[in-house]
């Protein structure tokens, strides 16, 4: 058990290493939602998503010299960069059909890419193989990990400090790393703001879990456009926090996710990835709930394939 | 002549009304330039560009109840919104072939659009007609105006306060409103940072003016993709400040402007309009000048037609 002082020092070190979130106001987004909306954008976080908060926290605290993670997306880039800053090696297990641009991004941030033929070997299997090959290495989960949640809690602290008197914050939910961290950060700062999750309707295991009072697992990886929310289920550590800490999880259709990405681009000049559009999508789809309130929508990241992005923002 | 106290109160009021600039760091942009680059983005300023600083300052100080400006772009939106916030009416004279999206944006921010058949009547003529039709109105220049320069000086004050110890700042130059304001703000704050202008090679009247020691006027409106820099010449008030206050003006080719917009999008998740890409374009095109230095690139705005933007960021 870490002492309170150690925890405080650790969180200070994380905050010194990360970029503060970007707070954006747009009268035209307010008009769209019918509420006062503050956008808290993690698209300008190092490596382009909130995952750097988590990855840096995990890398900094890990005694291992080598970190292994399975990720085809933002956590891979974030852990690669965090490892390079903390003089560690990162091995990122990615499916062999990953987009070249994603493989390239991991390499550019200093990570070692292990491509795996997912038809033959699962990513989890390959991670286990690598872990036994490198006994000095630590396997890091992108969400079900105390240091990951602690890293993400810095966003809650920041919002409590600088975002003023808001009624609610809406945050994307995949494995629950960001939402659990946000809840912890707000609680530590004594901020009573309500936290809502936003989840793709196609990947609504979080909402089903809340309703069932236990973790519900998706049958397979949900094929939502919000690729950061394609998790099989909430993590155990995340569920323990969300179960009582989250007000509700709001479901968002694929169409509403794309609409939100388009609105962020056109009305607020913000480049968001589809997962980053979830919170605004939820605010618009459930606008009765937030009418005339003051809400924060967290845009979790901005890393998106250019062709996909242009298709989304280009169509009416 | 306004007293120093009045000026100080005015600038405080402007700063309370605007959004602070967004400071962005991207290791991949650093790598591209070979320098430590801080991006100061005005794309999240109200109405999507730095022009709101200028417009709000002018609207707040004007005794008139009606403001008239010729603008097909950012100043029109900015003045419309600033007028609505200060209980004035804005009349924006736009060419009748303006993109519908731009006309729509002015209307949405509360401005009254006057379309003019530019084949028959020039915008300046129409502005003069309106001014005699409304004797209570004030005509506001987008750059050659003391209150406009004062409004833009708040960006210099912000950079002096929060951007630390940088060697130089690069800023787009059109009529010289932003660059002159920036120089004034830095001087008032006692900040010795060098200021470079960035100008399209196709619209290099500013550079030619510096070389000639007097204002050089373009023969017609230059057809650069950086539409915010399509001015005929620097303004008189702007020239008076730039003449000695600017270190140099760097020319940027059309190709380098587009490359910069693409790099901002891909490496820094930032949506910029072409004019907004000028400073990074200059930093890349003149990288020998900035090698291993610490520089700030100002991204002046993010309002760009979606089709044009997707064409720029989509091509290799």
What integer pLDDT is reported at residue A220 of this predicted model? Answer: 84
The reply to whether residue B306 touches residue A268, judged by beta carbons under 8 angstroms, is: no
Answer yes or no: are the C-beta atoms of B130 and B93 closer than 8 Å.
yes
Closest CA to B148 of B123, B169, B178: B178
The reply to whether residue A44 touches residue B22, judged by beta carbons under 8 angstroms, is: yes
A64 by Cβ neighbours in 10 Å (0-12 / 13-18 / 19+) ranks as: middle
The model's confidence at residue B16, banded by pLDDT at 50, 70 and 90, is: very high
Q: How far apart are CA B171 and CA B183, in angstroms?
A: 10
- Is-same-fold flag (A4-50+145-313; A51-139)? yes
Percentage above 70 pLDDT, chain A: 99
The reply to whether residue B44 touches residue A22, judged by beta carbons under 8 angstroms, is: yes
Residue B116, token pair as written in the block: 């003019």
Residue B200 phi, psi (nearest 5): -60, 140
The reply to whether residue A44 touches residue B306, judged by beta carbons under 8 angstroms, is: no
What integer pLDDT is reported at residue A66 of this predicted model? Answer: 97
Answer yes or no: are the C-beta atoms of B265 and B273 closer than 8 Å.
no
Taking residues B89-95, what's their average pLDDT?
94
Query: Any CB–CB contact under 8 A between B37 and chain A?
Result: no
Q: How far is CA B84 from the centre of its chain?
A: 21
Query: Any CB–CB contact under 8 A between B302 and chain A?
Result: yes
What integer pLDDT is reported at residue A118 of this predicted model? Answer: 79
Query: Any CB–CB contact under 8 A between B44 and chain A?
Result: yes
Task: List, for residues A43-97, the tens digit of each pLDDT value.
Answer: 999 999 999 999 999 999 999 999 999 987 899 999 999 999 999 999 999 988 8
Query: Any CB–CB contact under 8 A between A134 and chain B?
Result: no
What integer pLDDT is reported at residue A2 of this predicted model? Answer: 62
CB contacts of A303 in chain B (<8 Å) are: 269
CB contacts of A48 in chain B (<8 Å) are: 269
Task: List, for residues B271-284, the tens digit of each pLDDT value.
Answer: 999 999 999 999 99
Residues of A annotated as part of the active site: 51, 72
> A308 vs chain B: nearest CA distance in angstroms?
10
Closest CA to B56 of B82, B21, B77, B80: B82
The reply to whether residue A270 touches residue B44, judged by beta carbons under 8 angstroms, is: yes
Going through chain B in order, the beta strands assigned E by DSSP cover 22-25, 36-41, 66-70, 89-95, 112-116, 137-139, 168-172, 194-200, 248-252, 294-299
The reply to whether residue A306 touches residue B22, judged by beta carbons under 8 angstroms, is: no
The reply to whether residue A269 touches residue B48, judged by beta carbons under 8 angstroms, is: yes
Query: Any CB–CB contact under 8 A between B62 and chain A?
Result: no
Answer yes or no: are the C-beta atoms of A274 and A226 closer than 8 Å.
yes
Query: Any CB–CB contact under 8 A between A277 and chain B?
Result: no
Task: List, for residues A271-282, the tens digit of each pLDDT value.
Answer: 999 999 999 999
Higher pLDDT, B4 or A111: A111
Q: How far is CA A221 from the centre of its chain?
A: 17
The model's confidence at residue B1, banded by pLDDT at 50, 70 and 90, is: low
The reply to whether residue B44 touches residue A27, judged by beta carbons under 8 angstroms, is: no
> B128 vs chain A: nearest CA distance in angstroms?
32
Phi-psi region for residue B202, left (φ > 0), alpha (ψ -120 to 50) or beta? alpha
pLDDT at B3 over 80: no
The reply to whether residue A22 touches residue B27, judged by beta carbons under 8 angstroms, is: no
Task: List, for residues B229-257, the tens digit of each pLDDT value.
Answer: 998 999 999 999 999 999 999 999 999 99
Task: List, for residues B207-224, the tens digit of each pLDDT value.
Answer: 999 999 999 999 888 889
Q: Which of A37, A271, A275, A277 to mutate to test the interface with B (most CBs of B within 10 A)?
A: A271
Q: How far apart are CA B179 and CA B193, in angstroms?
A: 13
Residue B268, token pair as written in the block: 């820094």
The model's confidence at residue A120, banded by pLDDT at 50, 70 and 90, is: confident
CATH entry, B4-50+145-313, from 3.40.640.10, 3.40.50.1100, 1.10.630.10, 3.40.50.1470: 3.40.50.1100
Higher pLDDT, A120 or B272: B272
The reply to whether residue A271 touches residue B266, judged by beta carbons under 8 angstroms, is: no
CB contacts of A99 in chain B (<8 Å) are: none
Facing residues of B248 across strands? B196
> B250 vs chain A: nearest CA distance in angstroms?
27
User: What's the whole-model pTM score?
Assistant: 0.95
Sign of CA dihedral B49, B26, B155, A24: positive
Answer yes or no: are the C-beta atoms of A172 and A278 closer than 8 Å.
yes
The model's confidence at residue B66, banded by pLDDT at 50, 70 and 90, is: very high
Q: How far apart are CA A274 and CA A225, in angstroms?
A: 6
Of B24, B265, B266, the CB nearest to A44: B24
Q: Which of A25, A109, A110, A269 to mutate to test the interface with B (most CBs of B within 10 A)?
A: A269
CB contacts of B19 in chain A (<8 Å) are: 24-25
Task: List, for residues A198-214, the tens digit of each pLDDT value.
Answer: 999 999 999 999 999 99
Query: Any CB–CB contact under 8 A between B81 and chain A?
Result: yes
pLDDT at B315 over 70: no
pLDDT at A316 over 60: no
Task: List, for residues A139-165, the tens digit of each pLDDT value.
Answer: 999 999 999 999 999 999 999 999 889
What integer pLDDT is reported at residue A298 of this predicted model? Answer: 98
Q: Would you say domain B51-139 falls under CATH 3.40.50.1100?
A: yes
> A304 vs chain B: nearest CA distance in angstroms?
9
What integer pLDDT is reported at residue B316 of this predicted model? Answer: 52
Could you state, in order of their start, the residue ranges of all structural domains in chain A?
4-50+145-313, 51-139
Q: What is the DSSP letter of B45?
A: S
Write down the mean pLDDT value for chain A.
95
Is B132 assigned a catalytic role?
A: no
CB contacts of B267 in chain A (<8 Å) are: none
Q: How many CB atoms lie within 10 A of CB A305?
A: 13
Q: At what angle do helices A177-188 and A146-162 cross, to 10 degrees?
A: 50
Residue B126, token pair as written in the block: 């129409």
- Please name the residue that has the structure tokens 């630590």: A138
Task: List, for residues B290-304, the tens digit of each pLDDT value.
Answer: 999 999 999 999 999
């Amino acid at each position: 058990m870490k002492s309170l002082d150690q925890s405080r020092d650790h969180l200070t070190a994380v905050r010194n290493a990360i970029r503060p979130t970007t707070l954006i106001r747009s009268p035209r987004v307010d008009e769209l939602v019918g509420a006062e909306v503050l956008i808290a954008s993690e698209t300008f976080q190092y490596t382009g998503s909130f995952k750097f908060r988590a990855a840096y926290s995990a890398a900094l605290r890990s005694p291992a010299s080598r970190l292994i993670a399975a990720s085809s997306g933002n956590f891979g880039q974030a852990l690669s960069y965090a490892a390079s800053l903390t003089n560690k090696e990162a091995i990122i297990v990615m499916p062999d059909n990953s987009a070249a641009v994603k493989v390239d991004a991991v390499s550019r941030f200093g990570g070692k890419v292990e491509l795996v033929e997912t038809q033959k070997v699962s990513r989890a299997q390959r991670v286990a193989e690598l872990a036994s090959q490198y006994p000095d290495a630590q396997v890091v989960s992108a969400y079900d990990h105390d240091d990951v949640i602690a890293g993400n809690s810095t966003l809650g602290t920041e919002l409590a400090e600088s975002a003023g008197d808001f009624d609610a914050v809406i945050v994307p939910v995949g494995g629950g790393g960001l939402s659990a961290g946000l809840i912890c950060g707000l609680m530590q700062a004594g901020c009573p703001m309500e936290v809502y999750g936003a989840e793709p309707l196609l990947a609504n295991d979080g909402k089903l879990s809340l309703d069932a009072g236990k973790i519900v697992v998706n049958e397979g990886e949900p094929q939502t456009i919000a690729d950061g929310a394609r998790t099989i289920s909430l993590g155990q550590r995340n569920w323990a926090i969300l179960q009582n800490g989250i007000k509700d999880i709001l479901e968002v259709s694929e169409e509403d996710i794309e609409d939100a990405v388009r609105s962020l681009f056109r009305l607020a000049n913000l480049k968001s990835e589809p997962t980053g559009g979830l919170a605004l999508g939820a605010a618009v789809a459930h606008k009765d709930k937030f009418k005339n309130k003051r809400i924060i929508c967290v845009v979790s990241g901005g890393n998106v394939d250019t062709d996909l992005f242009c298709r989304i923002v280009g169509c009416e």
